[in-house]
Structure 1
Amino acid sequence: MKIKFTSTLFALAKRVVPPKVGSVFLLVCVCVFSLAIKVSAQDANISIPETRQYSTTEVFDLIKKQTNYTFVYRSDLFNGQPAVNISEGNIKTADLLKLSLGNNFSYEYSAEDNTIIVSPKTSDDNINSSAAGESVAHRVTGVVSDETGETLAGVSVIIQGQARGTITDTDGRYALNVKPENTLIYSFLGYKRKEISVGASSQIDVVLEESLTTLSEVQIVSTGYQKNRP
Structure 2
Amino acid sequence: MQRSGEAVAKVRDLTVKFRYNVALDNLSLEVGKGRTLLLGSNGSGKTTLMRVLSGLHRPTEGSVEVLGLDPFKEPSKLYPRMLYVRDVEDLPYMLRVSTVVELLSDVYGAGRVERALKTLGLEEHLFKRVGELSKGLRRRVAMVEPLSSNAELIMMDEPFSGLDADSRIIIARALSRLSRETSLIIASHIPLNLGIDQMVVLEGGKLTYNGPYNEAVARRYLAWMDALT
TM-score, with normalisation over the residues of structure 1?
Answer: 0.24
Q: Which of structures 1 and 2 has the larger relative contact order (alpha carbons within 8 angstroms, sep 6+)?
A: 2
> Which structure has the bigger radius of gyration?
1
